[in-house]
Structure formats: C-alpha cells, structure tokens
Homo-oligomer: A and B are copies of this chain.
C-alpha cells in the first residue's frame, strides 16, 4: 500500500516532467492519480571476476581481508578491491575525453536523476555487431511517440547486447586482451552523426547504452564520446535489463561512486517504472 501510493505519485511526477516549459515559469499542479504499481529495475551488472572491461584495462579484483569468527566472539568479514574506473556498468565523465572537462564528482546530480526515454534498436543491432545507431533511429522513436525527445531526458539505447554479457566473444567481439585486441572489438554504438544531431537538435541530460562503449567497437577516434562529453552529457555504459523498460514514461536514478578527479566511476543505475495495477 505504501509503495503503491509512492509510485502512483512518482509516475505522475514523471509524466509531468515529460513536457518541459521554461525553468522560470511558475505554476500550481492538481493531479488525479490512478491505481498504479511501482517497479524498481536494476540496470547494473555486478562487479566480479566476470565483469567486462576494455581489453586494455585492469579488471576487477576482490581480496578477502578477513572472514570468520573473531577472538571477541562475533563474526566479521571484509574485502578490498581494485578496478579500472571504466569497467562493468560505469559512467564516463566529460574529462574522460575532454581536457579540463568535468570530473565524475563534479557532474550535477540533476543530470543523473530524472525522466528517461528508451531508443530500441534491438532488431537492427542484435545480429549486427558493427551496428551504428542513426539519426533515423531517434526520429523513429519521435514518430512512434508523437513527440520530440523531451528536454532534460536521459536517453537509453537498447541494442540487446546485454544478453551476450557473459560471453566475451559475442559481447566484445573477442576474448583476447591487450593492445592487439582493440582492432578485434565488435559491438554496436552511437554513430558520430547521430551524436552530433542529438547535441545540436535536442537537449538531453545524459545517455546510456547496453554495450561496452557509446562509440561502436570498430571506432578509431571515439567521436561520439568527444561530441557528447564536450557538451557535458555523461555516458552510461554496459547497462542491462533495458528490455524491461517501456519506450517512455519512466525515471532513471544513476549514482556513480564519487571519485575526486575521477574520469569515470562504477555506476549503480536503476529505473523506476510504474504500471497500472491489474
């Protein structure tokens, strides 16, 4: 019951956020919520020795510090870990590709919490590891929704590749590691033209994808990264469970580890989806 009321209102909040007048305008809102139920969906992979990293990056390592009974009579366990900032479900901060750009601790929380949309390119990408998400893919979403991508949206791109996550050859294109493996990377990403179109024609807060990188595996110059990050649009990579999201009308909460000066960080990202209760 508590959560029912909670998400009923959260859903209406989301809906209210999808048309976005001037930030200076003032108003009073009256709502008549329906009987709705909430769903918190975790869009994050776990960190373990199976976690996907760039082929040249340090992988996740967990070391047990202590596990067992203590001489004081209580049980205790604790670990240390080491990782690259950019591995598993993580965020790219502007400084990852922009000199003097925002570091991960400087990204405003308002960019990371808010209404979201999903661009579904599954049918085009799932069997094409070199698929480049195009301007037309965004326009197709807008036609289907009868609306341009709302200002302030978090935009998630579903290629379907997260289902390959446990298989490096299918997910990354290779299970080799090191510099020589970079040219073997094959997975879908956002085309540089579509990144340009987004930053010039739409006003989005953040972007995410269910592949290892917002640029596709065969990218040489990482132009989509540069274009987005120059405009302070952070990118979420290695997302999962995007198939559980609708095309619009949901909220994202994306909270990265607050690393001072970080170029990116492990990210816990969840969606709040609200459905009419049956």
Contacts and interface: CB of A to CB of B under 8 A. Distances in A.
Nearest to A88: B258
Contacts of A73: 221
A144 interface: no
A78 interface: yes
A89 B258 contact: yes
Contacts of A115: 6
- Report, as a range, how many residues of chain A touch the other chain: 35 or more
B259 A46 contact: yes
A12 interface: yes
Task: State the number of copies, please.
Answer: 2
A78 B96 contact: yes
Contacts of A24: 1
Nearest to A7: B13
B35 A26 contact: yes
Nearest to A85: B79
A258 B21 contact: no
A51 B6 CA distance: 35
A277 B26 contact: yes
A27 B36 CA distance: 9
Interface of A: 1-10, 12-14, 16-17, 20-35, 40, 42, 44-48, 57-58, 62, 65, 72-86, 89, 95-99, 105, 109-110, 113-115, 151-152, 220-222, 226, 253, 255-264, 266, 268-270, 277
Q: Which 10 A-B pairs have the closest CB atoms?
A: A9-B13, A255-B268, A5-B16, A48-B260, A82-B82, A2-B20, A46-B260, A255-B255, A1-B25, A75-B99
Given A1-B24, A9-B13, 8 more contacts: A3-B17, A6-B13, A26-B35, A26-B277, A62-B260, A77-B95, A78-B84, A80-B85
